[in-house]
Amino acid sequence: MEAYDKEMNEGKQMYEFANKIFPIHRCLTGDGVRKTLEYINMEIHSMGGYSLNIREIPSGSRIFDWMTPKEWTIRDAYIEDKNGKHIIDYKDNNLNVLGYSIAVDKWVGLDELLDHIHSQCDQPTVIPYVTSYYSEQWGFCMSDIKKQSLKDERYHVFIDSELFDGSMTYADLVLKGESDQEVVFSTYICHPSMANDNVSSLALACQLMKQIIQMKSRRLTYRFIFVPETIGAIAYLYENSRYLYLKEHFYAGYTFSCVGDDKEYSIIHSQNTSSLSDRVLLNVLNDKADDSTPMLEYSFLERGSDERQYNSPGIGMSFVGYCRSKYWTFPEYHTSLDDMSFISTKGLQGSFDVFNDVIKILENNRVYRTIIPCEPQLGKRGLYPNQSQKGSARQASVTSITDFIAYADGTKDLVALSDAINKPAAVLIKVAERLLKEGIIEEVNI
């Protein structure tokens, strides 16, 4: 049990954090987003006083080809029958109300009510997550079973909401390193109470911020972006032409979505599959995946989250999408089944371990050259076993060393070298350190 606790330490912290922010009703704009950012701030504030840079963009601002939306606030919503019984109530589950629904307060017949109810016929027990950001309408979401059970009578529909000229909130945090080359992590803050999509990603970003804050030294600069999906990423890139700075300093970038289940690891490639972002994550996932937890590779044609904006023409940064079970592919996706029982400490820990390795590799992704002609004598340096026995563990670690030396020709970075010799880059960091110390290889600046 003790070993388990130790192993899952980050996963447990992440689950706890996800559980805290799960009940908050988030949407594109409004106090749900602000409150979520406050919780993130509390986590990093205790790590030496760091806090997010929080920005508000007024409703109706032009951002590239879009306008920022009105702010939405909701206080109450229910459907009541003639006896005063609430058929559904927003307070029981915030998925029960259509996201961005306009206000309504009237008695309607069954036919009119059904026109405003969203359900999922192929999953009759779930409440679907539905929004209407760009067309003003009122609506409720409920299970199809409940919808089918509604009697032909009159109902009181009540939604106390407001769409008004306010602002859209987003935040970022930049953790400076020795270089101003940036590794960027981006996720969204606009989903209501669903666990994998997307409090899991907020928990991952938060844990990684804490991890990076604690690093003794950093070669690279790390930027974390928290935005409402799509419109927020567009606003972030647009504001003060920030995309020009980001492009100039881009080193690697990842978007997080659905990172808390423990079924598989998924990579959604950027358009440029040979980019550093692609190569590093693929290398790590090849290492982490096994028969019980496979790695699924998706092309950029199957993109769906903010990797769309960051890769788009005119922006052109190779952001890679990361999920455990990919959005769209699991039945719990965008339904009330995506609750805290769908994600786990183990799933979150798995995602943390992946990006802990990604960061280590990015920090150490150097190019090396072997400087001794012919094979160096490893035995005299304590790098080769005195006895040779095939198949032993010692033998396997020796091949990491001999293969590293054989392939370090001054042209491949650590990830390319790792791919060539089929040994995880995360493991080769230590090998490189030892070989440098022994004077067998040198670093090449290319």
- Residues of this chain that interact with Zn ion (CB under 5 A) are 197
Q: Among residues 330 and 404, whose Cβ is nearest to Zn ion?
A: 330
Query: Contact at 8 Å (CB) between 371 and 439?
Result: yes
Minimum CB distance to Zn ion, residue 126 (Å): 15
Minimum CB distance to Zn ion, residue 223 (Å): 23
Rounded to 10 deg, the angle between the 242-249 and 231-238 helix axes is 80
Minimum CB distance to Zn ion, residue 197 (Å): 4
- The amino acid occupying position 136 is E
Minimum CB distance to Zn ion, residue 338 (Å): 9
Minimum CB distance to Zn ion, residue 229 (Å): 7
Minimum CB distance to Zn ion, residue 191 (Å): 5
Q: Among residues 197 and 261, whose Cβ is nearest to Zn ion?
A: 197
**Position with the least CB separation from Zn ion:** 197
Minimum CB distance to Zn ion, residue 133 (Å): 12
Q: How many Å apart are CA 170 and CA 330, to the nearest integer?
A: 28
Structure tokens at 422: 């089929």
Q: How many Å apart are CA 213 and CA 194, to the nearest integer?
A: 28
Q: Among residues 164 and 328, whose Cβ is nearest to Zn ion?
A: 328
Q: Tell me the C-alpha to C-alpha distance, in Å, between residue 321 and each of 44, 249, 410.
A: 24, 20, 30
Q: Among residues 229 and 413, whose Cβ is nearest to Zn ion?
A: 229
Q: Among residues 197 and 403, whose Cβ is nearest to Zn ion?
A: 197
Half-sphere exposure of 343 (CA within 13 A, CB side): 35
Q: Tell me the C-alpha to C-alpha distance, in Å, between residue 26 and each of 29, 188, 388, 442.
A: 7, 10, 61, 51
Minimum CB distance to Zn ion, residue 317 (Å): 22
Q: Among residues 197 and 264, whose Cβ is nearest to Zn ion?
A: 197
DSSP code string of 127-186: PB--B-SSS----EE--HHHHHH--SS-EEEEEEEEEES-EEEEEEEEE--SS--EEEEE
Point out which residues pair with 128 in neighbouring strands.
Answer: 335
Collapsed DSSP state (helix, strand, coil) of residue 289: coil
Q: Among residues 95 and 415, whose Cβ is nearest to Zn ion?
A: 95
Query: Contact at 8 Å (CB) between 182 and 222?
Result: yes
Q: Among residues 338 and 357, whose Cβ is nearest to Zn ion?
A: 338
